[in-house]
Amino acid sequence: MAELGVVLDEKRRLKKGAWSAEEDQKLTAYIKRHGIWNWSRMAEPAGLRRSGKSCRLRWMNYLRPNLRHGNFTKEEVETIIKLHEFLGNKWSAIASKLDGRTDNEVKNYWNTRLKKQFKGKSMQKPRKSEAARVCDSVDANHESSSQEEAGSSTPTSTPVQLSNLGDFTGNQTSSPENFGSLSSNQAIGVLGDKGNSFDNNLCSSYVDDEVQSYLWAQNFSVEDAHMVQDVGALFMDSTATVLYPGWPLEMASSASLEDFAVNLWEN
C-alpha cells in the first residue's frame, strides 16, 4: 500500500482509509461544480477511487461547508446531554440541533468524553428490563429502591404535554392511555436498537421538568417528527428524577443540568 493505513479493495480497486488532501480537493471541486447527484456514481468522474459511501461520509463529516470542528462549548455539551437523555443515541437528531456539528462528531464526543462521566454511576434506581419498565405504570417499586437511592423524586409529565406530543407527531394518538399501550418494541425504539446496553439504560433516564421545558422550547422541524413519535414512553414514569453522574446524591433535587454541564465542560 502506498500510504499507511490505506488499503485497496482488491475486487473493486477502491481505496479505503484516510483521505489525502488531494482527494479532498477533488471531491470538493467536483461537488462545487456538479453538485451532489448520486454518491456511488460521482466518485469516478470526480477522479476518486472511493466508494460512494466513503465520499458521502467524507463530505458530510468533514468537507461540507459551515461545519465546525474543535472543542464543544458548554452550551453544546448541555444540549447534547439533554437531548441524549431524551432521545438516546439518535445522533443525527441531536446533531441537527447543534449548528455545524455532525452526528459523527456528537457520537464521538459522547463516547469519548461524556459516556465515561456516566459510566459506573447509577443514574438512579435500578430498573427492570426496559420493556417491563415502559409497560408498567407507577408501582410500589418506585418508592422502594428509587427514592432510597435518589433521595428525592420529582413528579413530572402532564397530560397536556403528552397531548402536545401526540398532536405534534401527527401519527400518535395523544392520551396517556395510548402511550401505555405502546408495544415494548415501540417503546424501546427510541432508546436504541439493542435495548440492554449501558447507553440504553442511560438514555432512558427519566425526564424531569427541566429537560422537558428545554425540549419544548426547541424548534423541532418536521423532519424530526419521526424520532419523537415514541417519546411518550419516556413520560410513563411520573416519579422521574435525574441524577447527574459524579454528583453527590444530595444534589439530585437541586442541581441543574446547566450546573452539571458547566462542571463537565470545565473539567
- 62 binds DNA per the rule CB under 7 A: yes
Q: Where are the alpha helices (DSSP H) in 59-110?
A: 74-87, 91-95, 103-109
Which residue among 26, 58, 84, 133 contacts DNA (CB under 7 A)?
58
- 52 binds DNA per the rule CB under 7 A: yes
The C-alpha cell at 183 is: 408495544
Instruction: Please count the residues of the chain.
Output: 267
What distances in angstroms separate CA 11 from CA 7, 20, 156, 164, 197, one per listed residue?
A: 12, 22, 57, 53, 36
- 56 binds DNA per the rule CB under 7 A: yes
The C-alpha cell at 30 is: 467536483
Shortest distance in whole angstroms from residue 173 CB to DNA: 20
Shortest distance in whole angstroms from residue 75 CB to DNA: 17
- 208 binds DNA per the rule CB under 7 A: no
User: What is the C-alpha to C-alpha distance for residues 84 and 66, in angstroms, rounded to an integer?
Assistant: 23
Q: Which is nearer to DNA, 5 or 120 (by Cβ)?
A: 5
User: What is the C-alpha to C-alpha distance for residues 91 and 84, in angstroms, rounded to an integer?
Assistant: 8
- Find all residues with CB under 8 Å of 74, minimum gap 6, and list them: 261, 262, 265, 266
- 68 binds DNA per the rule CB under 7 A: no
Shortest distance in whole angstroms from residue 194 CB to DNA: 7
Q: Which is nearer to DNA, 2 or 4 (by Cβ)?
A: 4
Q: Which residues bind DNA (CB under 7 A)?
A: 4-5, 15-19, 36-41, 50-54, 56-58, 61-62, 69-70, 89-93, 103-105, 107-109, 111-113, 116, 192-194, 197, 199
